[in-house]
Each structure stands twice: as structure tokens, then as C-alpha cells.
Amino acid sequence: MIKTSEWIKNNGSSHIEKKNGTELEKVRAMNSPETIKAYRVWDLTVRLFHWINVLCVMSLIAVGIVILNSKSLGLTNDGKIILKTIHVYVGYVFAVNLGWRFIWGFIGKKHALWKSILPLGKKYRASLAAYIKGEKNNNPPNHLGHNPIAKLMVTLLFLLLAVQAITGLVLAGTDLYMPPFGHEIATWVANSGEESKILDIKPYSKVNVDPESYKEMKAFRKPFIKTHVFVFYTLLAAILFHIAGVIFTEVKEKSGLISAMFTGNKFFSKKPVDMIDDE
Ligand code: HEM
């Protein structure tokens, strides 16, 4: 709760004193403890998804950077296999978490739904225009869910994460013969259809591997690894923009945007424009 005296301390009293009585009343009414209300926005699933995703992505980036520089770091093949295996196990948690969030976008609470998030349709375009106009006048409308600019960023982030999950799952098969496609890839490169021989195929080993089929598999893998690396760099940039945008909005709006990802609540003195009456 913000007290009027605190608000004046934070925002400066001199310009209020210059106002006439009615304006001063208005400013007080807008920012008094009575009018700042908490609004529920992020449900538990969204919050859990967010922080599990942050932990997984940070770990995947850290291990990914080491894999990317394995040559200059002088890693042995065994070292690389261990790192890639760790990367893939974290990747499974990441992919399952992302998959569950995808489903939640159809069955979750209002602000978790894809129709509330995706920047599509006439309504979205109108809200974007209103938001930009409000920004220009230094009075942007309050949004309980993502604001129209944030919707663009969040959609880009989800797209990049989905591409990383899909390409990563294919690479887990082509590099380490790990699920979900590992068995199919091992069958493809095997020089014999015998099940025991297929199961014997190990990463970085040519035992039981047919050289021609292996070459074909490597060619198939190429666009996946190229995309995985390209999206890795794009994701790094997008994450930096995301964090900068969140900090900027939090400082400007003071709605508790960051703490809302822990508590589920945001705080506004004006009713958010994307709120329904029972919220
Ligand atoms: C945000 C998610 C992810 C990021 C940022 C990321 C990042 C990276 C990076 C930087 C590399 C090194 C590329 C190279 O050595 O050329 C890599 C490799 C790899 N990633 Fe990911 N990754 C992600 C998700 C996943 C997932 C979900 C899986 C699978 C479950 C996965 C599986 C792999 C595999 C198998 C490799 C080794 C490919 C190779 O170098 O030959 N990744 N990843």
C-alpha cells in the first residue's frame, strides 16, 4: 500500500502545490491508499512455468555456450557427450514445461490464454494504437495482462523457445541417439537391421554404423543444428530486450509487474482496460 505522503515524497510535492484545489484532490484521489487496488492476473501454472522456464533456459544457455566452444576449450569426445547429455536432460524438462504451457494457453485462466496473448485481430490493433497514443501523452492505459507491446515480445519469445525445443529434440536423436527420435536415427545409420546391433550404436562411435547412411543422416541434421545455433543467438538478444522492457515498464508504471510473477497480483489506481468484471 502506498500512503499519500509517500507518494508525494516519491513524485515530488512542488508540482502538486502549484495545482489548484480541485486538481490536488484529483491527484490525491488517484493515488491514495483507497484507490490503489490489487488485481489478480497470473495463475499458479503461469508463474511456475515462468520460473521453471527461466531456470532451464539459463542452464541450457550456460551448457550450450560450453558445447559451442568445446574445441577451443579442448574438450574430449567423452566430455562433449557428458555435456550434451546434461543439456538434453535439462532440455526435456524445458520441453515438457513448454508443452504444458502450450496446452494451458487453451484451458487456463483468461490472461494465460493464447487469445489474450497473441497480437492478432482488430481488437489487438486498436489496443496497440491506444497504447502508443497513451505513451505519447505520457498516460498509457493500464493493462492487467501483457500490454500490446509486451504481447509482441512474449509471442516472439514463445516462438523462439518452441523452435529450440523442436530442433533440440531432433539433435538429441542425431547426436546422442536419445529419445524421442534416437531409435529411429540409430536404425537409419545402422549397417544391420538386427535390434541388438542398433542398440549398440553409441554417440561419436562408428561401430555398427554404415558410412553412407551416416553421411545422409549428417546432411539431414545440418539445418537443425544451424537453426538451433541461430535461434540461440536470437534468443539471447530477445531475453535482454524482455528484461529491459520489464524493468522499464515496472519503473514507469509501478504496478508491481515483476513481483506479479511471484505473487500473481498487479496494483493499479485506474481500472485496467483488459479487465473483466469478476476479476
Ligand atoms: C532455450 C533452449 C535452448 C538453448 C538456448 C540451447 C542452446 C544450445 C547451444 C548454444 C548449443 C551448442 C551448439 C553447437 O555446438 O553447435 C546446443 C546444442 C545442443 N542442444 Fe540445445 N539449446 C536449447 C534447448 C535444447 C533442447 C530442448 C534440447 C533437447 C532436448 C537440446 C539439445 C541439444 C543438443 C543435442 C545439442 C548438441 C548439438 C551439437 O552441437 O552437435 N537443446 N544447444
What's the one-letter identity of residue 250?
A: E
pLDDT of residue 35: 82
Query: Which of 56, 59, 170, 228 has most ligand 1 atoms within 8 Å of its beta carbon, as the pocket-test mutant?
Result: 228
Domain 43-266 sits in CATH at 1.20.950.20
5 CA to centre of own chain: 38
Please check the confidence at residue 1 and state whether its pLDDT lies above 60: no
Neighbours of 156 (CB within 10 A): 16
CA distance 169 to 176: 10
- Tell me the three cell numbers of residue 47: 508463474
| Single-letter residue type at 127 | S
- The mean pLDDT value for 17-21 works out to 43
Q: How far is the CA of 226 from the centre of ligand 1 (A)?
A: 11
End-to-end, the C-alpha distance of the chain in Å comes to: 19
Mean per-residue pLDDT for 2-14? 39
Going from the Cα of 62 to the center of ligand 1, the distance in angstroms, rounded, reads: 10
Which residue CA neighbors atom 8 of ligand 1 most closely? 64
Average pLDDT score over residue span 202-216: 96
Model confidence, pTM: 0.87
Q: Which residues line ligand 1 (CB under 6 A)?
A: 57, 60-61, 64, 67-68, 84, 87-88, 91-92, 94-95, 161, 164-165, 168-169, 171-172, 175-176, 225, 228-229, 232, 235
C-alpha distances out from residue 137 to 131, 133, 134, 140, 191, Å? 10, 6, 5, 7, 70
When pLDDT is cut at 50, 70 and 90, the band that residue 192 belongs to is confident
Whole-angstrom distance, CA of residue 134 vs CA of residue 138 = 6
Residue whose cell numbers read 524445458: 94
